[in-house]
Amino acid sequence: MNHTFHTFELSTLKVEVIDTGRPFVCSHHVGDYFLVEGENLIFEQTHSFSLYALAALLPLLPAKQRPLQKADWMLSDSIIACPDPHCGAAFQITRVASRTFTHEETTVVPVAGVDEEELD
């Protein structure tokens, strides 16, 4: 099996509430965070996390997990504002680790256009 072909890297992300110097009006607390490990969101703290903030962050997370080109804005822009325009909270997305996954452990759909014999 060609293991290189079957594997891919994803970064584990930490999404943390940071202070911007403006008052918070939502339920955020500086230092609250969650992790993104593969497809899983992990909330290690007992605090709540805003549904609206989560909805704003979710579309960015899969892209932030993947390897990016050095000039890609997705690599450099890591602070996301709270979606409430009156709230001063922001969320910092940080890559904290990298993990290797295999195609087979993440889907049952074969890679299109590749002969199974090529994979061995």
Tens digit of each residue's pLDDT, the chain (120 residues): 445 568 889 999 999 999 999 999 999 999 999 999 999 999 987 677 889 999 999 999 999 999 989 999 988 899 999 999 999 999 999 999 998 888 888 878 887 766 555 554
> CB-based contacts of 52: which residues, under 8 Å, 6+ apart?
26, 83, 84
Please provide the distance, in angstroms rounded to a whole number, between the alpha carbons at the two ends of the chain. Answer: 3
Asked if residue 71 is part of any domain, the answer here is yes
pLDDT at 118: 54
Asked if residue 44 is part of any domain, the answer here is yes
> CB-based contacts of 54: which residues, under 8 Å, 6+ apart?
none
Model pTM score: 0.83
Asked if residue 1 is part of any domain, the answer here is no
Asked if residue 22 is part of any domain, the answer here is yes
Asked if residue 25 is part of any domain, the answer here is yes
Q: How many independent structural domains does the chain possess?
A: 1
Residue 58: which domain range?
A: 7-105
